[in-house]
Amino acid sequence: MQKKQITLKGMAKVLGVSHTTVSRALKDHPDISEEMKTQVLELAKKLNYHPNTLAVNLRKNQSSTIGVIIPEISFYFFPSLLKGIEEVAHSMGYNVVIMQSNESFKREKENVTLLLGSRIAGLLVSVSHETKEYSHFDEIESAGIPIVFFDKVLEKNNIFKVDIDGSKAAYEGTMHLIESGFKNIVLLAANPNMSISVDRIQGFRKALKVQGMNANNENILYANNLDEAEFLTQQVINRENPPDAIFTISDQNLAGALQAIKKADLTIPDDIALLTFSDGPLAAIMNPSISCIKHSGYQIGSKAASLLFYRIKNMDKQLIPFAQILAAELVVRESTRKKYGNPK
């Protein structure tokens, strides 16, 4: 049988005083005697009393909790990102409620409804790959709850968001592959509706154009998870003219590509080179080690949380939506060793 949660009224009944007296004693109110405060605190400890935060928020019409919606907690990126969010939130005296959409638009909408009912102070969101519009998030903003998007974001101008300069990073990565002697490069992207893909495809195409190479649509593929990445990699390496390099958009897509390459008994980088966007240890600990566009999930999380709290503190001001774009770094390792000759 579930134990009933103790309330202020329940404690007041035990002590034979009003619930207002108990409430004030817990808050160390000067009108309450030290003897009564001691009795209340001892009883609270004995009964394992914890205040109902939601009820307090409702009474005060304010909240000390922010919500976070992410597609899933997998690999290293999102756990690292959540650490950045929680550290900033904790320093501001806020709690964090984390919800997963599991890459489902329906689940994402359910998450929004639940968080709206929980009276959160603000919301941080990385959208699911099924998401194609923002109307459910408009409900949050209409309720006076600020939102900041990060990482996986739909193409929309009037939002606050934090991300890396994906176009520049993809351009530099593609140029590195071309300059290393690789000519038939496949980009393994994600949902084409999201900025995470749009920006990186743009950088990929730009590098090929600068080098006088064709950016064939058949060499830009879309994988939203490990299994799709493995399947698509299997398809391209069995082409009549297979790629000599694959550039993946995430650690998840990298893992899928690696599985397909291993099953095909190909050697990296002699048979096929690999480059990825990464924040985790997977790329570094592989043998051979994988070259990557290194970007910090922790930094994205902390910057997104800081931007959200700036919005929360300035709710009375008409802030202009903007994107905070962070730098990324090309880290060259064994998987993109020069195709012709030894590396300098």
What is the per-residue burial (b if ≥16 Cβ within 10 Å, else e) of 80-112? Answer: bbbebbbebbeebebebebbbbebbbebbbebb
pLDDT band at residue 194 under the 50/70/90 scheme: confident
Report the pLDDT value the prediction gives residue 343, as an integer from 0 to 100: 42
Report the pLDDT value the prediction gives residue 58, as an integer from 0 to 100: 47
Report the pLDDT value the prediction gives residue 269, as an integer from 0 to 100: 95
Burial of residue 9, with CB atoms counted within 10 A of its CB: 0-12 exposed, 13-18 middle, 19 or more buried: exposed
C-beta neighbour count of 126 within 10 angstroms: 27
Q: Token match 């959200």: residue?
A: 308
Q: What is the pLDDT of residues 299-313, one digit of tens each?
A: 999 999 999 999 999
- Does pLDDT of 2 surpass 50? no
Report the pLDDT value the prediction gives residue 50, as an integer from 0 to 100: 65
Report the pLDDT value the prediction gives residue 53, as an integer from 0 to 100: 54
Taking residues 29-35, report their average pLDDT: 88
Give the separation between CA 154 and CA 148, rounded to whole angstroms.
12
Report the pLDDT value the prediction gives residue 344, as an integer from 0 to 100: 38
Structural contact between residues 88 and 302, judged by C-beta atoms closer than 8 angstroms: yes
First to last CA, the chain: 71
Q: What is the pLDDT of residues 222-268, one digit of tens each?
A: 998 899 999 999 999 999 999 999 999 988 899 999 999 999 999 99
Q: For residue 146, is the peptide bond before it cis, meaning its omega torsion is within 30 degrees of 0?
A: no
Instruction: Identify the H or E element spanning 247.
Output: strand 245-248
Taking residues 278-297, report their average pLDDT: 90
Report the pLDDT value the prediction gives residue 241, as an integer from 0 to 100: 93
Three-state DSSP at 322 gives coil
Q: Which domains, and CATH codes, for the chain?
A: 8-51 (1.10.260.40), 63-162+297-323 (3.40.50.2300), 166-296+329-336 (3.40.50.2300)
Give the separation between CA 156 and CA 268, rounded to whole angstroms.
38
- Does pLDDT of 273 surpass 90? yes
pTM of the model: 0.78
- Does pLDDT of 57 surpass 80? no
Give the separation between CA 239 and CA 336, rounded to whole angstroms.
21
Q: What is the pLDDT of residues 140-174, one digit of tens each?
A: 888 889 999 999 887 777 899 999 999 999 999 99
List C-alpha distances in Å: 294 to 136, 151, 176, 242, 329. Answer: 32, 14, 14, 27, 5
pLDDT band at residue 62 under the 50/70/90 scheme: low
